[in-house]
Chain A
Amino acid sequence: MDLEKYGPWALITGGSEGVGAAFARKLAADGFKLVLSARKPGPLEELAAELRAGGTEVRILSADLSSPDVLDRLREVTDDIEVGLLIYNAGANNTRGLFVELPEEVTQSVIAINVLGQANLARHYGAAMAARGRGGIILTGSLSGYMGSPSLVAYTASKAFSRVFTEGLWAEMQPLGVDVLHLNVGFTATSAMARLGMDLTHAQAPEDVAQQGLDNIANGPIKIAGDEANVERARQRSVVDRRGEAIRAFSTPPREATLKK
């Protein structure tokens, strides 16, 4: 990863484990300084210690991306440094259920992270990059954002927001020298998925996902991680015609279908 173009600091949200941690390790190896933010302080501190031992300068912040003051808190640890790369990586959805029955807090938190938080961070860090005429923004999304799925109403919708938002932002920022990429992630072997009891046999390794993101940062607006099968899934979920049939056939399956047998 080109430190001149995207450095010296990279800010990674959801940066303590899974895809976020994989981004952190790769960027540290390329000489980036890192700001890592995640909810749980324990895994953050462990990763920071590991990276510092390798000679990397690391700042960490324990913060909840769904809380409205998250940007203010991040600014406290980034206002004095030059963030040339923003990786907004967040938003596994842990709670499923009928939209009208789910507690309002569940859907509000999904929207706060994937819609409001993403927009606010992209604005704040993107404006500074555009002023410098260089930099990069990677927003991670999901194959689930190509189609609405029952029990995941707010999640699938907010991932659609994220994808189309990134496309618009890409079109605006590319002429200004700033790369913007929606890294569309399929089934990935993250700790979050493991905690949900999923069968990870066919899941993509987080390291591969992160590498594909970094390798394709200039190939926006969208990179679908994984192999051709994931691209085909996106195509199946993008058809305009006979939408009802398509949703019945291709929407994200119930969790039971993906649990470890």
Chain B
Amino acid sequence: MDLAKYGPWALITGGSEGVGAAFARQLAADGFKLVLVARKMEPLEQLAAELRGQGAEVRVLSADLSRPDVLDKVRAVTDDIEVGLLVYNAGANNTRGNFIELPREVPDAVIAINVLGQTDFARHYGAPMLARGHGGIILTGSLGGYMGSATLAAYTAAKAFSRVFTEALWAECQPLGVDVLHLNIGFTATPAMARLGLPIEYAEAPENVAREGLDNIANGPVWIVSTKGNIEQARRTSVVDNRAETVRAFAIGPREDTGKAAVAQEELADGS
């Protein structure tokens, strides 16, 4: 990763584990200084200690991305430094249910993180990048954002927001020297997924996801992680025609079917 273009500091939200931690390790190896934000302090401190042990300068902040004051808190640790790379990585959805029955706080948090937070962070850190004429923004998204799924109405919608938001931002920022990428992620072997009891032996390694994001930062607006079957899934869930059949056939299934779905997606890529 080009330190002169995207450095000296990278800010990574959701930066204590999974894909965020993989970004942090790869950027530290390339000489970036890091600001890591996540909810839980302990994994943050552990990762920071590991990276500092290798010579990286690291700042950490425990903050909840669903809170309205989160940008102010993050600004308190970034206002005196030059953030040339923003990796806004967040938003695994842990609570499913029919939208009208879920406690309001659940979809509100999903929207706060994936719609409001992303918007605020992109504005705040994107503006100085444009003024400098260089920098990069990676917003992670999900294959789930191509189509609405029952029990995940707000989540899938928020991920659609994120993707289209990134596309438009890309179109505005690219001529001004700032790269913007929506890194669209399929089933990934993160601790969040493992905690949900999902069969992560079928899942993509977070290191590969982060590597593809960094390698393709200039190939926006959207990069779909190359896990077998991901691109086919995106294509078949984005068709305009026969939408009802499509939603019935290809929506995100119940959590207990995740392994089956992963296998089916691989078969889709094989054309079997």
Contacts and interface: CB of A to CB of B under 8 A. Distances in A.
A149 interface: yes
Give the most central of B160, B170, B241, B251: most A CB within 10 Å.
Answer: B160
Contacts of B251: 171
Question: What interface size band does chain B fall in?
Answer: 35 or more
B154 interface: yes
Contacts of B127: 100-101
Given A127-B100, A148-B166, A157-B164, A115 B115 contact: yes
A161 B158 contact: yes
A34 interface: no
A238 B98 CA distance: 27
Interface stretch (A72-80, A84-92, A118-126, A202-210): A118-126
B165 A148 contact: yes
Interface in B71-115: 98-101, 104, 107, 111, 115
Given A115-B161, A148-B169, A164-B157, A220 B221 contact: no
B73 to A, nearest CB: 18
B171 A160 contact: no
B165 A167 contact: no
Nearest to B150: A171
Interface string A140-182: 0000011111111110111111111111111111000000000
A158 B161 CA distance: 6
A123 B152 CA distance: 14
A239 B220 CA distance: 15
Contacts of B157: 115, 160-165, 168
Given A100-B130, A231-B240, A130 B221 contact: no
A60 interface: no
Contacts of B163: 148, 160
B18 interface: no
Given A100-B123, A165-B154, A243-B221, A221 B243 contact: yes
Interface stretch (B40-48, B141-149, B201-209): B141-149
Interface in A92-136: 98-101, 104, 107, 111, 115-116, 119, 122-123, 126-127, 130
Interface residues of A, number: 60
B167 A148 contact: yes
Contact of A145 (B107, B116, B164): B164
A168 B116 contact: no
Interface of B: 98-101, 104, 107, 111, 115-116, 119, 122-123, 126-127, 130, 145-154, 156-172, 220-222, 224, 231, 234-235, 238-241, 243-244, 247-248, 251
3 closest Cβ pairs, A-B complex? A167-B148, A148-B167, A168-B153
Given A148-B171, A150-B168, 16 more contacts: A99-B122, A99-B169, A100-B130, A122-B100, A154-B119, A157-B168, A159-B164, A160-B157, A163-B148, A168-B157, A169-B99, A172-B153, A173-B100, A221-B244, A239-B238, A247-B167
Interface of A: 98-101, 104, 107, 111, 115-116, 119, 122-123, 126-127, 130, 145-154, 156-173, 219-222, 224, 231, 234-235, 238-241, 243-244, 247-248, 251
